[in-house]
Structure 1
């Protein structure tokens, strides 16, 4: 199967209101063809509303929506070249797998033989060749989700929409299916918009991530950009685990900030021109634990957990509780131990308080 067309998505000042409630503030958005972009954020942030506006399942209160350069603002879902993969799979239990995949094609009056051929191509693409005669109830959850993906892509959409597609799967299966979805998207060169609340999932599949909060975009960038250069404390705390510690910025020069914290000074890389009160982002993996007579931030272990490949600690310190992840040691620290938390300033990041 080859993708015949893939489209861009653009929002120009799009607003969505339900009565007096603003579900989406004035939103400007540009998604390039062939990219997988994830909408990520807490519940109620506007990500699902944005997806439904692209799909044509909701109509914009104001602004314009373009797909593949065409103004589709006032077109319903039937007339938009998009396909959606739903959280619940939405497979017809009385139809075979092949009939489910071919359903959208038959609705569009595609000849039965052609629809069957395309359905078989779709099933082969998602690794389910030979499963066409089975019923959905005879498949695992991961296989059912792949059927839903096949049903969407056989329609050859300009944009593929995925609404929390892995939320019903267990953790190990989620990893496997997300890899398959990403490989299919890249192989076909599909433009895809993916909604999830799972940060790890978003970072694993995305070209770009759009983090939303309070019905607007908080930051957009590659997974690495968002993790390494968060624009705010909210982004730092939402993308991966983060400790936020109050500090005072003394000066900024040539991309480095001199900050004071807990009576010590650190030279920290920064893209900001902050001064005065700010916060240091301290990632758990960048912190280390040492005996209490070592230079650093003094504290006491309040929680220690062995996770096989790593140890996780919570340490009550002079600057507040710190979450620390470290390799397993021959003699790990235990709850109640006095320790010193070592900070690597080259791994710290600076955000406004």
Structure 2
């Protein structure tokens, strides 16, 4: 199917170093899928294998149903947006966008028309005569996107495309990239180590760790139903508390310190586990209660859109986020914390 990407037990080795363990995945046409993970996890290697910039050591790669495993990058129907933008500084914006079309031997008139249409698509109509040095970082990134999409690729690849931009501009440009991808119905594979960025743009996220897939799913699935402590901690902030499952099934009973809690969720086995509590699900109160833990506030900060606390508790350090209001608690205060049992999750210890 046009625009689909399929890996069948693909591996990549650099000498004795295994950069990618046997990997199988399917990317649906017209979706934006993000490869997310820490440095060295294999995400960029996977992207370069799709692009044809690296060759697979084993397995098969299919794009649009065609086996491209041994096909060079030149003959694959993909375009790549690089982290560094890779614009030619001596060429105008128009020349940069049309460069790939010129290399393909198109007429000057057709190159001009398609380059102008590409610039209009990314909101840079009228910028064609400028040099890259005369543009902001966000505008340069959009030129790089325009250069990629005018080639009409089946798959658009984006390698850490926003890493050179400041935080506010990153948010703006990622929205633009997502809108362009959806408007054109492009299949896109996006690489980042920024989990917030991944959640903001993706139809599906593939989280990688140690050269293999740790978990994949929609942003909501990964956040609300993490399969491991690594995923819970990597996708959004999480407090991981040691507990013991004393009764499996649904509901599940756990032991937390000297307390017995019944959780409205399902578990398959008894034994040690980690309780996942998101910071915004934690409630702080002055008063003690049977279902609350004593805590001392060791750090408190008002950040405008939230209040953040670090607390010392009998189960370890806890991070909590409260509503944006003048600090109700301050460093050194003794409080008691609780959380809704319906809001927590369990992952293997």
What TM-score, normalized to structure 1?
0.97
**Aligned counterpart in structure 1 of residue 277 of structure 2, from 278, 282, 293:** 282
**Aligned counterpart in structure 2 of residue 105 of structure 1, from 101, 104, 113:** 101
Q: In the alignment, is the contact (CA less than 8 A) between 1:302 and 1:314 conserved in 2?
A: yes
CA displacement 1:81-108 (0-9 Å, x = unmatched): 0000000000001111011000000011
CA distance in 1, matches of 2:135, 2:264: 51
**Corresponding position of 1:7:** 3
**Aligned counterpart in structure 1 of residue 80 of structure 2, from 78, 81, 84:** 84
CA displacement 1:163-219 (0-9 Å, x = unmatched): 000000001100000000000000111000000000000000000000000000000
**Corresponding position of 1:133:** 129
Q: In the alignment, is the contact (CA less than 8 A) between 1:120 and 1:132 conserved in 2?
A: yes
1:45 CA drift (Å): 0.2
**Corresponding position of 2:29:** 33
Gaps of 5+ in 2: none
Task: Check 1:114–1:344 CA distance in 2 against 1; reply closer, same or farther (3 A cut).
Answer: same
Q: In the alignment, is the contact (CA less than 8 A) between 2:248 and 2:266 conserved in 1?
A: no
**Matching of residue 200 in structure 1 with residue 202 in structure 2:** no
**Aligned counterpart in structure 2 of residue 230 of structure 1, from 205, 226, 229:** 226
**Matching of residue 268 in structure 1 with residue 263 in structure 2:** yes
**Corresponding position of 2:333:** 337
1:270 CA drift (Å): 3.6
Q: In the alignment, is the contact (CA less than 8 A) between 1:219 and 1:231 conserved in 2?
A: yes
* SS of structure 2 residue aligned to 1:177: helix
CA distance in 1, matches of 2:3, 2:321: 42
* SS of structure 2 residue aligned to 1:347: coil
* SS of structure 1 residue aligned to 2:179: helix
* SS of structure 1 residue aligned to 2:342: helix
**Corresponding position of 1:148:** 144
Q: In the alignment, is the contact (CA less than 8 A) between 2:32 and 2:188 conserved in 1?
A: yes
In the TM superposition, 1:181-220 aligns within 5 A as 181-220=177-216
Q: In the alignment, is the contact (CA less than 8 A) between 2:249 and 2:266 conserved in 1?
A: no
1:331 CA drift (Å): 4.9
CA displacement 1:133-165 (0-9 Å, x = unmatched): 110000000000000000000000000000000
* SS of structure 1 residue aligned to 2:130: coil
CA distance in 2, matches of 1:73, 1:41: 24
Q: Which runs of 4+ in 1 moved over 4 A?
A: none
Task: Check 1:157–1:269 CA distance in 2 against 1; reply closer, same or farther (3 A cut).
Answer: farther
**Matching of residue 62 in structure 1 with residue 58 in structure 2:** yes
**Matching of residue 176 in structure 1 with residue 176 in structure 2:** no
CA distance in 1, matches of 2:227, 2:298: 31
**Corresponding position of 1:21:** 17
**Aligned counterpart in structure 1 of residue 323 of structure 2, from 316, 327, 339:** 327
CA distance in 2, matches of 1:56, 1:331: 54
RMSD over equivalenced CA pairs, Å: 1.2
Choose 340-349 or 201-210, whichever is displaced more: 340-349
What TM-score, normalized to structure 2?
0.98
Q: In the alignment, is the contact (CA less than 8 A) between 2:245 and 2:269 conserved in 1?
A: yes
Gaps of 5+ in 1: none
CA distance in 2, matches of 1:72, 1:36: 21
**Aligned counterpart in structure 1 of residue 159 of structure 2, from 144, 159, 163:** 163
CA displacement 1:220-258 (0-9 Å, x = unmatched): 00000000000000000000000000011122334x321
CA distance in 2, matches of 1:180, 1:329: 32
CA distance in 2, matches of 1:131, 1:306: 42
1:345 CA drift (Å): 1.2
* SS of structure 1 residue aligned to 2:248: strand
**Corresponding position of 1:42:** 38
Q: In the alignment, is the contact (CA less than 8 A) between 2:81 and 2:158 conserved in 1?
A: yes
CA distance in 2, matches of 1:269, 1:140: 51
1:285 CA drift (Å): 0.5
CA displacement 1:311-337 (0-9 Å, x = unmatched): 100000000000000013455211111
CA distance in 2, matches of 1:210, 1:264: 37
1:288 CA drift (Å): 1.1
